[in-house]
Amino acid sequence: QVQLVESGGGLVQAGGSLRLACTASGRTFSSYLMGWFRQAPGKEREFVARIDRVGGKKSYADSGKGRWTISRDNAKNTVYLQMNKMQPEDTALYYCAAAYRYDGSEPGKYAYWGQGTQVTVSS
């Protein structure tokens, strides 16, 4: 079992930045692919970014390329999402998730989820 707790959300103006963090407890953090997803009101949950177990392979949604950076610190059991040049369309509830023996972006393949942290971008 893995417990995930997100932090770092908040209100930011368009063009600003936020850094989200997700801290894990439970089983070995470094065994898991870690991903960030988001869900805006009335929309489906969508992939944001993912990072492999050792932090060597990263993948981003097209909407975030060049603006977001995902990283992880396995010694701290934490994965981060640095979001720059934020836009109102980035407003959503952001979730981190963990997947075991998987390398992809399908939410259904991630077994563990946090409760989410709200990000609101004002224009």
pLDDT value, residue 51: 98
What's the CA gap between 37 and 46, in Å, rounded? 5
What pairs with residue 64 in β-bridges?
none
Q: What are phi and psi of 23, to 5 degrees?
A: -105, 135
pLDDT value, residue 86: 97
The answer to whether the CB of 99 falls within 8 A of the CB of 32 is yes
51-94 pLDDT per residue, tens: 999 988 999 999 999 999 999 999 999 999 999 999 999 999 99
Pairing of strands 58-60, 92-100: unpaired
The answer to whether the CB of 66 falls within 8 A of the CB of 84 is no
pLDDT value, residue 15: 97
17-51 pLDDT per residue, tens: 999 999 999 778 999 999 999 999 999 999 999 99
Of 51, 54, 60, 65, residue with least CA distance to 22: 51
